[in-house]
Structure 1
């Protein structure tokens, strides 16, 4: 009976994967024929089944961009970058999409470490940094074994030094992995979907309006109370926004 269930699960999984491939190809064809809304329907069907990929989100971003829907296009480009931070096509299209956003928010000056983090360290996701750590761990272990079993003094010295260097890089990559994981866990990014929304100084419609945001602006979510979210924008301003006016970028 168990074998039958395993076979049934395998067949179901295979058919589901083939169906997704068919939907993806059909959506791509619809996109080529400039039927962007129908293409989005197909892409969203794939997403609703739990399938995620940088290519899927990139195509969704392109489809929404063609329809001049700023918020969703930026949202899906950002999701694509979270899965593949090195994708140049997504990076370039995100720049074009951001130009359509109305809010021009000047960022606060960054420290040297923040600049290093943004320009270089965040080019890889924390999962990719974890893979780098595993590689250095394996390399260091292999070099240490070669040092241990080597009989030549010169070779032993070489293997010992290179193994120490590998373990040093392992510690550095592990630190970066932890920092990147903490950053993404504690900094919940969201995109404004409302065409225009008021940000208030308290989670209440009766509270004072402090500033206005428009579709496509990226915010950091700091807290949640009922139907309100406390947000921070790039220039350091903080306020409360109605939860339905923004869309959180999920962590994968």
Structure 2
């Protein structure tokens, strides 16, 4: 019930700034979803995406529709795509956790170093657009601060402006790095979702090689290498192996 309420509330508030036709299609898909015509909603959402329009709410709504018809791998894929564009969104994170609870594989994640956890937590404070806007704003304010420093004749004012300028410079540097990183991550297609119900992972890119372990649909993996029709993947606990291409979809 909690999940359903969250979905309905978000659907009621999700509107994209699009041209007339995509906006009309988006609203039509939302109405189809709320009326229980989930496959119809999926068809419309997918058509919007095929036209080159992508937004986190669109992926999220599509994920919700797939979840309703029990297509868990597709739901997870679209929740992950939504989070790629808006990493700090708690609604996306919650529904992704719910969907992940329905898959077969429960993988223990390798512990991260404290500074990596801190950096990831910092990134989640703002959306990618928010970090880009902060970088642009602080960059502009740096020039205003320089002008104020040069024009000021009072020593105490110059010291204050100088300190403020250093703070702006540090903020601009951090926000610029995060904006670049989130943009790069949004374009990166190294992570993917398994779409084969049961998938043996091989020790080498060869059909005759031994099976290292077995994974199942819905699991998130990282592609670390490619050789011909084979892809080397890594799962969250660090285990690696080879699978044939065409069994995963990139996030």
Q: By the TM > 0.5 criterion, same fold?
A: yes
1:39 corresponds to which residue?
A: 41
Change (3 A) 1:196 1:125: farther
Gap change, CA 1:105 and 1:126, over 3 Å in 2: same
CA RMSD after TM alignment: 2.1
Q: Secondary structure at the match of 1:71?
A: helix
TM-score (norm 2): 0.85
* Structure 2 residue matching 1:235: 3-state secondary structure: coil
CA spacing shift, 1:160–1:84, aligned 2, 3 Å? same
Alignment map for 1:165-180 (pairs within 5 Å)? 165-178=167-180
C-alpha separation in 1, matches of 2:27 and 2:128:
31
Cα 1:89–1:162 shift into 2, 3 Å: same
Instruction: Give the TM-score normalised by the residue count of structure 1.
Output: 0.85
The question of whether the paired residues in 1 share the 8 Å contact of 2:33 and 2:65 is answered with yes
Query: Which residue of structure 2 aligns with residue 24 of structure 1?
Result: 26
The 1-side partners of 2:125 and 2:245 are apart by: 29
Structure 1 residues 75 and 178, CA gap change in structure 2 (3 angstroms): same
Aligned counterpart, 2:57: 55
Partner of 2:225: 223
Q: What's the secondary structure of 2:208's corresponding residue? A: coil
Q: What stretches of structure 2 of length at least 5 have no aligned partner?
A: 1-17
CA contact (8 A) 1:189 1:220 kept: yes
How far has the Cα of 1:85 moved from its partner? 1.6
Where does residue 12 of structure 1 map in the other structure?
Answer: none
Contact in 2 for aligned 1:141/1:163 (Cα 8 Å): no
In the alignment, the residues of structure 2 paired with residue 183 and residue 56 of structure 1 have an alpha-carbon distance, to the nearest angstrom, of 19
Q: 174-183 vs 50-59, which deviates more?
A: 174-183
Matched residues in 1 for 2:101 and 2:131: separation? Answer: 31
Q: Which whole-Å CA distance do the structure 2 matches of 1:82 and 1:134 have between them?
A: 21
Number of equivalenced pairs: 234
Show CA shifts across 1:38-77 (max 9, x none).
Answer: 1100111101000001111011000001111111000000
**CA shift at 1:128, angstroms?**
4.4
- TM-superposed deviation, 1:123: 4.9
State which of 135, 138, 151 in structure 2 corresponds to 1:136: 138
Gaps of 5+ in 1: 1-15
CA contact (8 A) 1:82 1:125 kept: no
More helix as a share of residues? 1
* 1:166-205 alignment, distance < 5 Å: 166-178=168-180, 188-205=190-207
Separation of aligned partners in 1, 2:159 and 2:114? 37
Which secondary structure state, in structure 1, belongs to the residue aligned with residue 191 of structure 2?
Answer: strand
Task: Indicate the SS of the match to 1:120.
Answer: helix
